[in-house]
Structure 1
Amino acid sequence: MERRRMLQSDLPRAARLQPADAAGEGGIGEIVNFVLGLLRRQYKLMLASVAIALTLAGAYLWFTPPTYTAQAQILLKNSKAQFVKEEFVLADPVLTPTEIETQIQVLKSSAIAIAVIKELNLAADPDFVGAESALASHLRTLLKYFSPPDPAKTEAGATESTEFLIGAFDGRVDAHRAGFSNILEVSFSSSSPSRAAEIANAVAAAYINDQLNSKLEANHRAIAWLQDRLRELGEQAGAAEQAVDAYKMQHKIVSSGGKSIDEQQIAEFNARLMEARAQTADKLARLNQYESVSLSNAENLDSLGVAASDALANPIINTLRSQYLELQRRESEWVPRYGETHAAISELRIQMRNIRKSINDEVRRLAETSRSDYELAKKRQQELEKQLNNVVSTTHVNSPAEITLRKMESDAKTYRSLYETFQQRYMAAVQQESFPILEARVVDPALPPASKSKPKSKLILLVGAFGGLALGAAIGLLRDMMDRTFRTPAQVETCLRLPCFSVVPRMPAHATSGPREEAAESDSHPTRAVPTPHSVDSIVVGMPMSRFAEAIRYAKIGIDLNPSKSLNKIIGITSSLPDEGKTTIAASLARLIAHSGQRVIIVDCDLKRPSLSARLSPNAACGLVEVVTGRTPLEQAIWRDPKTNFAFLPVVRRAPLFHTSELLASEATRRLFERLRASYDFVIVDMPPLIPLVDARATASFTDCHLLVIEWGRTKIEVVKQALHSAPNVYENIVGAVLNKADTELMADYDQNCRDYYDIRHYTRYHSDDSFGEV
C-alpha cells in the first residue's frame, strides 16, 4: 500500500505531461483533431459507403423510367369586348384568393379528369394505366368466359376502374397559382414529352369548356325565368289595357287631343306618384338587403359585395374590407408557420373580429340610413297619394267614372313599363347567350419538355454521395465508440492509473524470418544451450538500434526509475489475457539486460502453458518444478544463451499440474527466488495471465514488481480493469504497463496531438541499419 500511495503521488506529474486530449483540454482544436483522426481511421469505410450509395443511386436511375412534366398557363381575368360592356343578368365574380383557390380545386376535380380521360382515351394508354392494371384487365376479360355476368359486380368493377383512373390522373396533374398573379399553372407528368404536353393542354381546354358550360347553363336558367316573368307581365299589361278600353266604352268616355288643367294636374301627380313609388320600392329593397346582411353579421365579406352594391361604394367599408382581407392573408400564412395557438395568431383573429364588428356596425348604420330614406320616401308617396286624391276629389266629385278610369290607366302604364324593362333584360340575356364571355383563357399552351423532370440525376447522385458519406461517417463513429480497446498510452494512464512505459511496435513476419540457427555447443554448457531462433525477442540483439529494441529499453528504464522501491530485481511479466505478447516481452527484456553485460535469468512460471520453455529449451529434461520439489539441483536445470549469456529456468510438462498456485506460493519457491536474487542482477519471471488463472497472484510474495503487457487494439479496457480488480495484490505491485503489438502508423490517427511522437523519421536519424525502416 505504501508503494501504491507513492505511485499515486507521482500521478499528477504524469497527468501534467499527458497529451492535450488526455489532459482534458477542450476547444475547437480538439474537435478538429478528433474529426481528422476519424477520417483517417475510417476513410476506407466511408469511401466504400459512398461507392455503395452511388451504385444504388445509379441503379435507381438506370431502372427508373424518366418522367417529363409539361405546363400550361391559364389567365383567369379576360377583358370583355367593347360592344358587350353592358349590364349582364349574371354578376361578374370577384377574383379573391379564395376564388382563385376554388378555381384551382376545379382544375384538379374529378369532372375535369373524367373529361380528359374520355377525350384522349387514357383508359387504353399503357403508360397511364400501368402494367398491373392491364394485367387485371386481361384477368377480368378471361373471367367473363368462365362466370356468368353479374350486373352488380359489373357495375362495381366499372366504378373501381373509374376510381383507379381518376386516382392515377390526380397523381400526375398539378395546379397552382403563379405568384400573386391571376394566372394558374397546370402541369401533367408522363413518360412521353409529347403526351405530357397533349394532356396538359387537354386539361386546360377541359377547364375552359367547363367554365363555358357553367356560364351557358346559368344563362339558360336566367333566360327561362325571364321568359316566364315576361309572359306573366305581358298578360297583366294586356289585361289592364283591355280593362281600360272596356271601361271607356262602357261609360262613353271620349278623350280629345287636348287636356284640361285638372287633367294636367292629375297627370303630373300621377307621374310624380309613380316616381315616388319607384323610389319607395328601391329604398325598401335596399333596406331589406342591408337587414339581411346585418342579420348574417357580415361574416362573409364577398356576400356583402354582392348583396349591397352601395356598401362597396362606401369608403369606410372598403377600407375595413381591405384591412380584413390583408389580415386574412396573414392568417393563412402564419397558421402553418406558427400554429393555431400562437399569440400572434390570436391577436390577428381578435383584429379580424374587431374589423368584422366595425363592418357590421357600418352596415347597421347604412341600414338605419336606408330605413330613414325609406320612411321619407314612403311619407312622400303617401303625401302624393293624398294630394292626388284631393285633386281628383276636387275636380271630379261628380265623375267617379273618370277617377276609376285614371286609376286603371295608371295600373296599365305601370304593367307596360315593367313589361318593357323585362323585355330589355330578356334581349340582353339572349344576346349574351349567343356571344358568351369567358373569364379564362390559355395564355401559354404546354410544349413538349426538352428535359425530364424526374428522376433528377444530379440531385439523386448528390444525395446518394452525401447519404453514403453520412452513413459511412455514422458507422465509423459507431465503430470508434464501440472500440473499447487500448489505443494510446493516455488511455492506459487514464483508465488504469498506471504509467505506460513504452509502445512496442508490431513486428512484420519478414522481420524475423530466416533459417533457425542451432545452438553452438560450448565447453561449459554442452547440452543446455539456448538455441538462437529468428524470433521477435532476438531483435533486441540482432537489431539493437531498432524501434522495437528502443521500446524494450523504455520499459527497462521505467522499471529502474520506479520510485516505489530502491531496487527491482525480481520482475514479473504478466497480462490480462493469453497471447498478448507477455512471453515475448519477457524474453526481449532478458536478452536486452544480458546484452548490456548484466547477469540475468528468466524463469518460466507459466506452468500450465510454458510457451517460453517450448521456444528456448524444447529438449529440456528438468526445470522449475523439479528444482522446487528438490528432485534436481538448480545448476542442472538452468539453460544459457551462448550469445548474450542470459540464464533460463524452463518448465517441463510431464503430467498435468492441478495445483500450480500452491506450488508457486510454497516456501520452497520463495527460497528458490531468494537464491536467484542473490546470484543474479535481475530475475525476469514469465507469469501466467490474470484472467484464466490465479497463479499470478501466488507469485506476488516473492516478486519485487510486475510489468503489465496489454495488446494494442485487442484487449478490452473493461477486461483489464476486471483482471486487476480480481488480483489486487498484483495491481498494488504493478509499476507500469507496456502497449504491445502496436500499429504505430494507425496510432498517429488515434492520437492527433502526438502524431510526431510516432513518426518513424525521428528514429531513423539515430541508426544506420537499412532494415530499420521495416521494423
Structure 2
Amino acid sequence: MLQSNLLHTERTRVALSGQSSFDQPDSGGFGDLVKLAVSFLRRQYIVIAVTVVLACAASVLYLRLAPPTYTAQAQVLLGIPRAQFVQQQSLLAEPAFDVTQIETQLQILKSKAIATKVFNQLKLADDPDFNGSSSSLLSSWHWARAQISASNNPPPSDTEDDPSEGALGVFLNRLSATRVGVSNVIEISFSSSSAPRAAEIVNAVANAYVTDQLDARFEANRRATSWLQERMHDLGEQALTAQRAVDTYKAQNNIVASDGKSIDEQLITQLNTRLAAARAQTSEASAKLTRYETLLSSDPARQPPLGGLDAIGTDATNSTILTTLRQQYLELARREAELASRVGRDHLAVVNIRNRMREYRTSMFDEVRRLAEISRSEAELAKQRQQEIEKQLAEAVSKSQSVNSAELTIRDLESRAKGLRSLYESFLQRYMGSTQQETFPISETRVIFGASPPQSRSKPKTNLVLGLGMFAGVALGVLLGLLRDVMDGVFRTSSQIEAGLELPCLCLVPALQAPKPSKSPAKSSQAEEDLRSRTISNVPAIHRAVVEMPLSRFTEAIRSIKLAVDHSPAKTSNQVIGITSALPNEGKTTIAASLAQLIGHSGKRAIIVDCDLRNPSLTASICPKASAGLIEVSNGSRSLEDVIWRDPKTNLVFLPAVRRGALFHTSEILSTEAICKLFERLRQTYDYVIVDLPPLTPLVDVRVTSPLVDCYILVVEWGRTKTDVVQHALHTAPTISDSVIGAVLNKTNIKAMARYDASRSDYYNDSHYIRYGFSDS
C-alpha cells in the first residue's frame, strides 16, 4: 500500500542514518514557512479569536467610558534678545536663535510662573478639571498624582492667591509647547474636556508669555541702567582717587607735599594701623578660643551647652547644625516634661526621651569641639598674621632711609588715573543711551496664530484605539498560542517521534469508535459452550475492527505495522513481536490484538500471548472465564494445549494470563527457563508470536523479555504521552530500545493532523483514501 511503503521508506532511512527524516526543512523554504504559519493558525485560531474579541471589547469599553478631550493650539513667534547698551550692536543685527535658547523659551512657557498667572487670570480653581471633582478618570488620576507629588515635596512658601500644587500639576500635564520644524515658531497646545475652555486657556498662556517677555525686557533694561549708574559712580570715585593718589605721592616725595610726610612714613603708619588691627584680631580669637575651652570643660552628660552657646557668639548662632540640634533638644525637653507630668519620670517613654536628649547633648558638644578646632586655627592664623605684619614693619623701618624711584611711580599713577577717567566718560555715554531706551522697551515675541475652539476631539481616537486593541489582541493571541505549543510537550506528528526518540514512526493509528457487537439471543448457553471448547466468541468490537472494517484507515495502519515487521532491516526474521508502551492506557493491548487478528485473518499461524501478568487486560476482554494460562504452563501444572483459546473466525490462538492473586515476582517468572522453552516451542509451532507486554515506566517486566522477543513495537498515544517520559523509559531500558523497530502513534485525531503536520497536510486528506475504497465507517 502507498501509506505502508511511504512510512516504511522513512523508517528505513531513519534506522540507517539515526536521524529524523523531517529534521531538515524541505527545499520549499518560504512555502514551508507559510504552511507552518497556516497550521499554527488552524491549531490556535480559537485562542487568537477569543483574545482579539476580548481586546476589541476592552477597546470599545474604553471608548465608551473615556471622556472626550479637545486640544486647542496657538503659535508664537520668538523675538531676538538684544542688549544695545551692553553689546553695542546695530538695531538691525539679529543673531539667530540656537537650540539651547529655544529650549529655554519652551521651559519658560511650561513654567509654574506662567501657569500661575493664567490660573489666577481665568479663575481655574473653580474648574472641575483642576480641582479634582471631574468625572474624568484620567483627570482625577492626574490630579491625585500631582497632590501626592506636592505632599512629598512641599513648596517653601505659598501665598493665599497661589493655586495648589495639585491643580498646577494637572494644568502643566495638559499644557505642551513644541518647536515647529527648525523655525523660531513655538506651537502651544492645551487639552481640556471643553473645546471653548481649551482655546481660552491656550490664548491666555500665549498672551501671558508675551507679557512676561515684555516685563522681563523692561526689568532687564531697568537693572542694566541701575548697574551702569552705580558703575559710573564707582569709576568716577576711582578716577578721583587715582588723581588724588598722584598728588599725594608727589607730596610724599617732596614733589608736592601737602601733609609733610614721605611715602616711607605713610607705609610705617599703615603698618602700625594694620598691626593694631591684627593684634586686636589675635586677642579676639584667643578670647573666643578660651570661651570654647571653658564650655568644653563642662560635662556634656549632665547639662546641655545651651547657655554656653550664647556666650560663644555668632559662631553658635550661624551654625545650622547647632541650631537644629538645639531645637530638637528643646522639643525633646518639652516632651519629657509633658510625659513626666502625666506618667512619671521613671516611665520607659520618659527614659527613652532622656536617652535621646543625652545623644543630642553629645552631638552638640561634638559640634562645639569642631567649632573650637576652627577657632583654634583662626587664632593661630591671626597670630601668624600679626607676626608677619611686625616683620614687615621692621623691614619698613629699616628701609625708611632708602631712596625710591619716585618718577616711575608718578608715571604709573598718572597713567592709571588717565585710564579711569577715559573709562568713566565711555560709561557716561552708554548710560545716557540706556536711559533713553528704558522709556521705550519693545518685545519681538508676538502671537501669530490665535487658538479657536477645536471642532473634533483629539483623544481618544476611535480608529487608533480599535486598531491598537485589535493588534494587541492578535499579538497576545499569537503569543498565547506559541506558549501553548511550547508547553504542549506531547507527541502529535511522526516527525516529533522521529526527532525525539530517533525511531521511525511506523504508522498513525486513528482513534477508532468500533461498531457495537450484535447481541446473541442465547448468550449464557453460548458462553458455557465456549468455555468447554476454549473458543473465543466474545471478541471486543475494537479488536475485530481489522476484520469488520478491512477498508479503513485503522486497518491500513495495522497493515503498516505488519509490513514494518516483515521488512525490518535490523533482522532477517521477526517472528516474536513484543508490543509495549511507556505508560498504561496508551492502547498497546488494542494494537497487539488488532495485529494478531490481521495476521490470523490473512491465513498465517499466529498466537497472541498476554505477558502483562500484573494487569492481564487482554485476557479480561477476550476470555474472562479462562481458568489457566501462561503461569500454569510455566510452572508445569498445565500443558500448553490445555490453556490456549482459539478464534474460529480468524484462526487466531490466544495464550491468556490468569491472575489468581497478588504477584510480586513477575519479572522472575518471565525470565525462567520454562518460559524460554515455551517461547521456543511457540516459534516452532506458529509463524507469528504477538506478545502483549506491560508498560515500560511502571514495571521492569519488559526488560527481562529481551531473550524471548525478536523485536519490539512502541505504542505512543497521540496528544497525551509526554516526550520526556518516553525518552526516560527508553533510556532506562537500553536492551529494549536497541530492539525497537519503530513507534506507533496511536489514537490519532486524523482531522486535526493537518493543523500539526503542515509539511504533509495533503497526506491526511480523505479523498486519497476514498479513491481506493477506504472508509472509516
User: TM-score normalised by the shorter chain: which range applies?
Assistant: 0.5 to 0.7
Aligned residue runs from structure 1 range 690-709, under 5 A: 690-709=696-715
Residue equivalent to 1:501 = 506
Residue identity opposite 2:446 in structure 1: R
Residue identity opposite 2:667 in structure 1: S
CA distance in 1, matches of 2:104, 2:762: 71
Residue equivalent to 1:207 = 209
Residue equivalent to 1:57 = 59
Residue equivalent to 1:456 = 461
Whether 1:444 aligns to 2:449 is: yes
TM-score (norm 2): 0.64
Q: Render the CA deviation track for 1:82-105: whole Å, top value 9, x for unaligned.
A: xxxxx9999987451244333222
Gap runs ≥5 in structure 1: 1-6, 80-86, 139-151, 232-414
Gap runs ≥5 in structure 2: 1-8, 82-87, 145-153, 234-424
TM-score (norm 1): 0.64
Contact 1:22 1:494 in 2 (8 A): no
- CA gap of 1:636–1:494, structure 2 versus 1, over 3 A, is same
Q: Secondary structure at the match of 2:454?
A: coil
Whether 1:632 aligns to 2:634 is: no
Contact 1:22 1:491 in 2 (8 A): no
Could you tell me which of 673, 679, 687 is aligned with 1:667? 673
Contact 1:45 1:476 in 2 (8 A): yes
Residue equivalent to 2:197 = 195
Structure 1 stretch displaced more, 540-549 or 104-113: 104-113
CA distance in 1, matches of 2:626, 2:477: 54
Could you tell me which of 88, 103, 121 is aligned with 1:101? 103
Q: Secondary structure at the match of 1:169?
A: helix
Residue identity opposite 2:213 in structure 1: Q
Q: Secondary structure at the match of 2:573?
A: coil
Residue equivalent to 2:605 = 599
Contact 2:203 2:451 in 1 (8 A): yes
Residue identity opposite 1:75 in structure 2: L
CA distance in 2, matches of 1:73, 1:703: 92
Contact 1:568 1:705 in 2 (8 A): yes
Aligned residue-pair number: 559
- After TM superposition, give the deviation of residue 30 of structure 1 in Å: 3.9
Contact 2:607 2:690 in 1 (8 A): yes
Contact 1:570 1:677 in 2 (8 A): yes
CA distance in 1, matches of 2:741, 2:10: 11
CA distance in 2, matches of 1:743, 1:456: 46
- CA gap of 1:161–1:439, structure 2 versus 1, over 3 A, is closer
CA distance in 2, matches of 1:494, 1:667: 38
CA distance in 2, matches of 1:610, 1:513: 23
- CA gap of 1:558–1:198, structure 2 versus 1, over 3 A, is same
Contact 1:512 1:534 in 2 (8 A): no
Q: Secondary structure at the match of 1:739?
A: strand
Q: Secondary structure at the match of 1:195?
A: helix
Residue equivalent to 1:165 = 167
Residue identity opposite 1:58 in structure 2: V
Q: Secondary structure at the match of 2:480?
A: helix
Residue identity opposite 1:561 in structure 2: H
Whether 1:34 aligns to 2:39 is: no
- After TM superposition, give the deviation of residue 128 of structure 1 in Å: 1.9
Residue equivalent to 1:590 = 596
Residue equivalent to 1:470 = 475
Residue equivalent to 2:739 = 733
CA distance in 1, matches of 2:708, 2:482: 46
- CA gap of 1:565–1:159, structure 2 versus 1, over 3 A, is farther
Whether 1:75 aligns to 2:81 is: no
Aligned residue runs from structure 1 range 274-285, under 5 A: none
Could you tell me which of 116, 119, 124 is aligned with 2:118? 116
Contact 2:11 2:503 in 1 (8 A): no
Q: Render the CA deviation track for 1:311-346: whole Å, top value 9, x for unaligned.
A: xxxxxxxxxxxxxxxxxxxxxxxxxxxxxxxxxxxx
Q: Secondary structure at the match of 1:536?
A: coil
- CA gap of 1:516–1:466, structure 2 versus 1, over 3 A, is farther
Contact 1:516 1:533 in 2 (8 A): no
Q: Render the CA deviation track for 1:124-176: whole Å, top value 9, x for unaligned.
A: 222123249999999xxxxxxxxxxxxx9996797996332322221111112
Whether 1:181 aligns to 2:183 is: yes
Contact 2:540 2:621 in 1 (8 A): no
Residue identity opposite 2:459 in structure 1: K
CA distance in 1, matches of 2:740, 2:446: 93
Q: Secondary structure at the match of 2:544?
A: helix
Contact 1:78 1:441 in 2 (8 A): no
- CA gap of 1:668–1:89, structure 2 versus 1, over 3 A, is closer
CA distance in 2, matches of 1:11, 1:134: 70
Structure 1 stretch displaced more, 576-585 or 694-703: 694-703
CA distance in 2, matches of 1:425, 1:725: 98
Residue equivalent to 2:766 = 760
Residue equivalent to 2:753 = 747
Percent identity (aligned): 48
Contact 1:16 1:23 in 2 (8 A): no
- After TM superposition, give the deviation of residue 229 of structure 1 in Å: 12
Q: Secondary structure at the match of 1:701?
A: coil
Aligned residue runs from structure 1 range 403-552, under 5 A: 430=439, 432=440, 437-507=442-512, 509=513, 511-513=514-516, 526=532, 528-532=534-538, 535-552=541-558
Q: Render the CA deviation track for 1:246-267: whole Å, top value 9, x for unaligned.
A: xxxxxxxxxxxxxxxxxxxxxx
Contact 1:708 1:734 in 2 (8 A): yes
Could you tell me which of 710, 730, 736 is aligned with 1:724? 730
Aligned residue runs from structure 1 range 130-145, under 5 A: 130-131=132-133
Structure 1 stretch displaced more, 625-634 or 418-427: 418-427
CA distance in 2, matches of 1:557, 1:601: 18
- CA gap of 1:616–1:161, structure 2 versus 1, over 3 A, is farther
Residue identity opposite 2:594 in structure 1: S
CA distance in 2, matches of 1:99, 1:17: 69
Contact 2:589 2:618 in 1 (8 A): yes
Contact 2:195 2:454 in 1 (8 A): yes
Residue identity opposite 2:500 in structure 1: C
Residue equivalent to 1:565 = 571
Residue equivalent to 1:574 = 580
- CA gap of 1:420–1:712, structure 2 versus 1, over 3 A, is closer
Residue equivalent to 2:623 = 617
- CA gap of 1:48–1:15, structure 2 versus 1, over 3 A, is farther
- After TM superposition, give the deviation of residue 70 of structure 1 in Å: 0.8
Residue equivalent to 1:284 = none
Q: Render the CA deviation track for 1:364-397: whole Å, top value 9, x for unaligned.
A: xxxxxxxxxxxxxxxxxxxxxxxxxxxxxxxxxx
RMSD between aligned residues? 4.2
- After TM superposition, give the deviation of residue 57 of structure 1 in Å: 2.6
- After TM superposition, give the deviation of residue 726 of structure 1 in Å: 1.6
Q: Render the CA deviation track for 1:40-97: whole Å, top value 9, x for unaligned.
A: 2222222222222223333333333222211011223599xxxxxxx99999874512
- After TM superposition, give the deviation of residue 12 of structure 1 in Å: 6.1
Q: Secondary structure at the match of 1:565?
A: coil
- After TM superposition, give the deviation of residue 429 of structure 1 in Å: 5.2
Contact 1:88 1:429 in 2 (8 A): no
- CA gap of 1:89–1:718, structure 2 versus 1, over 3 A, is closer
CA distance in 1, matches of 2:163, 2:61: 33
- CA gap of 1:531–1:78, structure 2 versus 1, over 3 A, is same
Contact 2:626 2:656 in 1 (8 A): yes
CA distance in 2, matches of 1:112, 1:470: 44
- After TM superposition, give the deviation of residue 619 of structure 1 in Å: 2.1
Contact 1:128 1:168 in 2 (8 A): yes
Residue identity opposite 1:530 in structure 2: I
- CA gap of 1:135–1:631, structure 2 versus 1, over 3 A, is closer
Contact 1:764 1:773 in 2 (8 A): no
